[in-house]
Structure 1
Amino acid sequence: MTKDVIALTPRMPDPWSVLVGLLSGGPDKLVDAAGEGAVVQLCDQEGRPLVSIEAPLLVQVPGEAERLLGSAAPPVPFWWTEARATTGVAEAERLADTFAARLAALAGGTAWPPRAVRSVGVVASEGVSVAPVPAAAQPAVDVLTDKVAVVIMDRPVIAMTAWLSDAFRAVAAAERGLQIVTPAGTTLSAAVRDTLPGWPSRWVVQDEREGYYDGRSGAVLRWQEGMFAPVTSPDATEDDPHTPVAASYQEFTDTGERQLAVTLRTVHPADERLILGGALEAVWRELTGEPPVGWGSAEPATLPWSPGRLTDVAFTRAPEPSWFVVVGSPERPGLATVRVKRTKAGVEEEVTLAFGYGADEQVPRDALPRAAEVLATRHRLQSMLVQLRKARRDLAVPPRFEGPGVPLAFVLGAEEVHALPDDRAWRTPLPQQPLRLGPKARPALYYPLPGDPSDLSGWSDFERLVRHLKGA
């Protein structure tokens, strides 16, 4: 098991100086030039990792510490330095706390969790050494079997940190699942929820009554055959091997909060002049009146919003795909993930976006057709689905049943409409006719749907529409 400790400082920290102070009199290897690596590990004499320390991140986006830690931070820009302690080894957690506390004291900042601030003291360092690269394959992984990698995390919000992103890539390459184990009060960032693959990957929630359950489905889980897997009900049969659902998962209260969720796909010709992120910024401006605030390749988002810099990173990584997270201002919660990949058709952008609204705030339904037209006429929109769902304004994903969203609208791009035979795109089984977007000669089409969160029949209408468009 591991514990995370984070120092938030207004000045750039010098982790090596702090390590020298912690381990004064320790081995000469402490100041080896090889320590310029992105991750440094303190290990005992047997090579077991005690604390893994990541290179500091310069955060230039307001609200990220509050969103992910529930903690106040210095004004932007500030430095975010993470350490992970292996609690199965004596003194490791205290060593991490002391590291973060001293770092915060030297650089004039704070440490999370608050207990770390009180941990400045002397830590026994006999037999402790520094490894310039992780002694284990992945610092974030706590348990590794032939089926899954297990990550145990105790944070307010499980975010797509660089640690966790590395773990995702490692398990994908090894063809294993990833199982994230958290306490009951923890939530997921939507970026993690949207990235976590299916079986055997899971969000495993500790529960006083059930032991463990799946935070996305509520299925009661047990550790069996090298991974967390659903428990079979006593009355299950071969034809109906159903699984009990945890009572904690079913404790849902409608607070009146809503989320507007948008998924869209654009396809661009592969051109040196192409600027990515334009479609995301366009829909963000149409629905909120402002652009995104920040972006990054992990959470916290560290960089001010810039489609040009995002494009540069994606082109540098090509032909490998790229993944980015984009965030909005604290006043209007918004979070998006963007996947960029090269295909035979060109450069594809897949965007998953959500905005949060309180019970007393209006969801901007009237702006949806206008946003769709901007995407269709200026950003080569292929398709877009808009949903409304009962969910938290802060966009965090709780280990509770929130119910599915309901479709508000579906949009088909101009090229896709043109490719359909006859007038199939125009004459649909829906009661409302589609709205024309763009030029009459080659329009995109906007299909309005009921969008009532208390009525799931909108999915039947959407299914009928899709089957009709496919000619089924």
Structure 2
Amino acid sequence: MTQTAGGADVLTAHAMVMLNDRPVVPLSPAIYEALAECEGTNRTLQVVTSAASRVTLPLRTSKAQWLVHADNGYYEGLTGRPMHWNGTAFVPLPEARDYASTYTTPPTAPIGSQLVLTFQARHAPSAVLGAHTEKLMRLLTGEPPAGWGLTEPLQHPWHTDDLTTHITNTSSTRLIVVGAGTRPAIATSHFSSLAPPASGTAEITTLSIGYTYDEDPPIPQLPSFIDLLSADHPLTALLAQLVPGRPDLTTEPRWTGSSAPIGLASAGAYTGPPGFSRKRLGPPDAPVTWYQLGDGYSPEYWQRHQDLLTHLRRAT
């Protein structure tokens, strides 16, 4: 590999490589700019850290590929897949038949759980944006968001008017929102203009809340929270799942377990499919149907999620 000038340590026709050996690697302004450059040049951004590093949730969910340098080579931080440098990029090791050995070692800190809510919404041109995230954070943490921004650390205190102005002046925006309370809470949001002839803004947001191993996430309360949310802020859909992970919402390059579904809310009043527990939520003029999929601890219930999606697509 050859060092280059600028923010990249290596630049080829296929990849931009950035080396970062910090204990916690965030979605920094330099990485954010590199992601934008890679998107414009059809490259993959590959961020390389040591096995002792962790990445923040915004970096983990970005389009950057996380590579880990261990004693026995390189591997993909999120999957454990062994990798090697082929002269133009890090690619899977052809002869590998198992996870990288470091990936299967125990995490360095106790693993708790992360409640992950992914919702979609459509907003009128005059709507104040960010209200869904604020409402959910208040319900789940007791506090509103502290701030928002494009990179970490965040640049702006939480004001929905400022956030709305920024989004309406940009055709497509990805944002980070952090909670203000003692409980870790981070949302990553994508706002984009609705395709003509519709007008307004489409939103996809994933909100993650961290819990320690001896805490119970508020799974039984989720339908009532969604009911309160949809009363003021209509939803298109919401998926709730539980993910094993660090309570601080950072990620180690090690296996911590599989996610499991809790439930799915879909705008509209539905009656099926058979065998699914459902509950009508929201106001009469904008109903939402909540389907209980599982307890958040049984990954095999993802099949129920697929069966439900198939039914809903047929129904609509």
* Normalised TM-score (structure 1): 0.63
Structure 2 distance, partners of 1:379, 1:195, is: 27
Task: Give % identity.
Answer: 32
The correspondence for 1:371, drawn from 225, 229, 234, is: 225
2:146 corresponds to 1:286: no
Structure 2 distance, partners of 1:461, 1:255, is: 30
The correspondence for 1:464, drawn from 290, 293, 307, is: 307
What pairs up with 1:34-433 in 2 under 5 angstroms? Answer: 136=5, 139-196=6-63, 202-208=65-71, 210-233=72-95, 243-252=97-106, 255-271=110-126, 274-317=127-170, 320-329=171-180, 331-344=182-195, 345=198, 346-414=200-268, 417=269, 425-432=270-277
Q: Residue 459 of structure 1 aligns to which amino acid in structure 2?
A: W
Secondary structure of 2:37's partner?
A: helix
Which structure 1 residue ranges, 5 or more long, are not aligned?
Answer: 2-87, 89-134, 234-241, 418-424
Per-residue displacement from partner, 1:306-336 (whole Å, max 9, x unpaired)? 111111111222xx21111111236210111
Per-residue displacement from partner, 1:53-72 (whole Å, max 9, x unpaired)? xxxxxxxxxxxxxxxxxxxx
The structure with the greater share of residues assigned to strand is 2
Partner residue, 2:280:
436
Secondary structure of 1:377's partner?
A: helix
Which structure 2 residue ranges, 5 or more long, are not aligned?
Answer: none
Structure 1 distance, partners of 2:228, 2:32, is: 33
Moved over 6 A (4+): none
Q: CA deviation at 1:147?
A: 0.6
Structure 1 distance, partners of 2:111, 2:34, is: 36
| CA RMSD, Structure 1 to Structure 2 (Å) | 2.1
- The verdict on how the C-alpha distance between 1:460 and 1:327 changes in structure 2, with shifts beyond 3 A counting, is same
Structure 1 distance, partners of 2:284, 2:122, is: 21
State the aligned residue count. 311
Using CA pairs below 8 Å that are at least 6 residues apart, which structure has the higher relative contact order?
2
Find the structure with the greater CA-based Rg.
Answer: 1
Structure 1 distance, partners of 2:178, 2:285, is: 37
Q: Residue 193 of structure 2 aligns to which amino acid in structure 1?
A: R
- The verdict on how the C-alpha distance between 1:441 and 1:309 changes in structure 2, with shifts beyond 3 A counting, is closer
Q: Residue 275 of structure 1 aligns to which amino acid in structure 2?
A: V
Q: CA deviation at 1:397?
A: 1.1
Partner residue, 1:447:
291
Structure 2 distance, partners of 1:396, 1:281, is: 22
* Normalised TM-score (structure 2): 0.92
Q: CA deviation at 1:243?
A: 4.1
Q: CA deviation at 1:362?
A: 2.5
